[in-house]
Amino acid sequence: MTRTTQQLTFEEYLSYDDGTDVRCEWVDGELYPMTPASWGHKSIMRFLFLQFYLEIQRQGLGWEPYEDGLGVRTMQQRVRLPDLCIFQERPALARNEAAILTTPPLLVVEIVSPESISRDYRTKRSEYATFEITEYWIVDPLAQKVSILQLVEGFYDVREFTGQERIISPLFAELMLTANQILQGV
């Protein structure tokens, strides 16, 4: 993710098109292009999406999981594009409206890549907590661990899982997945 120096308003961000298909996050008026995901990254995303989808079905929860690309306006001047997010219900957006939500999802997932380490573990940890997202997963294939952050009185407490450990998610209490399964994406 490299940064442009151009300053855009929210409206300009919505209609931004530089002729490429590269998607950008919008942070304090600046565009941050998202570099194309690696195959490993994509495999994890797809695996988790399917697992969440099946678990939501099994329990009849009615929640809506979205893979990659749904915008979340975490602050007045910021739009993030989490790798995966789950909403309580189908967002009330018109068909032709930009897919950017202003209400907090129940859960977001970020999959760490070499250039996103401090952004995922630090900046977004503050930002997602301010936005009151109750659960934040950081899947880290580099450090081979899965961190599950739970919002408790406005601050995330962290639990880390590695290897054959079963991950513990407050939202998906019955989900039977090990850290390795998620990290391998199979």
Partner 1 sequence: MTQTKQQLTFEEYLSYDDGTDVRYELVDGELYAMTPAMGKHGTIAVFLLIQLYLEIQRRSLDWQVRLNDVGMRTAERRVRIPDLCVMTLEQAQAIENVAAILITPPLLIAEIISPESVRRDYRTKRTEYAALAIPEYWIVDPLEQKISILQLEEGFYDVCEFTGQERIVSPTFTELTLTADQILRGV
Residues that bind partner 1 (CB under 8 A): 74-76, 118-119, 121-127, 129-131, 152-156
**Residue ranges of the alpha helices (H) in 34-178?**
39-59, 117-118, 124-130
Please say which residue, 20 or 76, places its beta carbon nearer to partner 1: 76
Smallest gap from residue 119 Cβ to partner 1 (A): 7
Residue 127: CB atoms within 10 A of its CB come to: 18
Report the residue number, 31 or 44, with the smaller CB distance to partner 1.
31
Shortest separation between residue 113's beta carbon and partner 1, angstroms: 16
Q: Which is nearer to partner 1, 128 or 172 (by Cβ)? A: 128
Q: How far is the CB of 156 from partner 1 (least distance, A)?
A: 8
Q: How far is the CB of 80 from partner 1 (least distance, A)?
A: 12
Rounded CA-CA distance 132/101 in Å is 13
Cβ atoms of 125 and 136 within 8 Å: the answer is yes
User: What is the nearest approach in angstroms of partner 1 to the Cβ of residue 137?
Assistant: 17
Q: How far apart are CA 157 and CA 184, in angstroms?
A: 25
11, 67, 21: which is closest to 44 by C-alpha? 67
Please give the Cα distance from 73 to 100 (Å, whole number): 6
Contact 160, 146 (CB under 8 A): yes
Q: Is residue 155 within a helix (H) or strand (E), and if so which, with residue range?
A: strand 155-161
H-helix or E-strand containing 182? helix 179-184
In this complex, which beta carbon is closest to partner 1, that of residue 10 or of residue 53? 10
Provide, rounded to whole angstroms, the least separation between the CB of residue 144 and partner 1.
22
The whole-angstrom separation of Cα 175 and Cα 87 is 17
Cβ nearer to partner 1, comparing 64 with 127:
127
**Between 67 and 135, whose beta carbon lies closer to partner 1?**
135
